[in-house]
């Protein structure tokens, strides 16, 4: 018998690993990977809450589905932006991005 808190502990650790990566990485693609970790943690939470608290409903299930679809779209646009940055600056490190201001 697995309690739902165990699942929530796993997703919490995943979420804060993503937050740590978001704070400490200096490559924009690595930051995007950290964002993916955070989104995955929220997806696990949606599915677990649906499964354990409202097993007859399907709200959390569809929230997780739509969240996956929206993160796919977000990744596509973000990677297009990164490739455009690389084409302009020959680098995607965050410290070079202030050149885009002028």
Partner 1 sequence: MGSTLETVIFYFLAAFIIAMSIMTVTTQRIVRSATYLLFVLFGTAGIYFLLGYTFLGSVQIMVYAGGIVVLYVFSILLTSGEGDRAEKLKRSKAFAGLFTMVTGLAIILFITLKHNFMQTANLAPQEINIHAIGSALLSSDKYGYVLPFEAVSILLLACIIGGIMIARKR
For partner 1, give the closer residue by CB, 3 or 101. Answer: 3
Pairwise CA distance, residues 50 & 77, whole Å: 30
Among 42, 72, 96, 99, binds partner 1 (CB under 8 A): 72
Q: What is the largest CA-CA distance in the chain?
A: 59
Rule CB under 8 A: which of 15-54 touch partner 1? 15-21, 23-27, 29-30, 32-34, 36-37, 40, 43-44, 47-48, 51-54
Contact between 4 and partner 1 (CB under 8 A)? yes
Residue 97 makes CB contacts below 8 A (sequence gap 6+) with 28, 85, 89
Integer Cα distance of 93 and 30 in angstroms = 10
Q: Is 12 in the site for partner 1 (CB under 8 A)?
A: yes
The pair of three-digit structure tokens given for residue 60, joined into one six-digit string: 């959390």
Task: Please give the DSSP secondary-structure letter assigned to residue 70.
Answer: H
Given the rule CB under 8 A, which residues bind partner 1?
1-2, 4-10, 12-21, 23-27, 29-30, 32-34, 36-37, 40, 43-44, 47-48, 51-55, 57-58, 61-62, 64-66, 68-77, 79-84, 86, 92-93, 95
């Amino acid at each position: 018998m697995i309690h739902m808190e165990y699942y929530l502990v796993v997703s919490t650790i995943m979420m804060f690993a993503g937050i740590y990566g978001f704070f400490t990485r200096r490559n924009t693609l690595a930051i995007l990977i950290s964002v993916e970790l955070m989104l995955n943690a929220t997806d696990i939470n949606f599915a677990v809450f649906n499964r354990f608290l409202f097993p007859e409903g399907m709200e959390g299930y569809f929230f997780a589905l739509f969240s996956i679809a929206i993160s796919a779209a977000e990744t596509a646009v973000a990677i297009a932006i990164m490739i455009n940055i690389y084409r302009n600056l020959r680098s995607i490190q965050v410290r070079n991005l202030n050149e885009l201001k002028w």
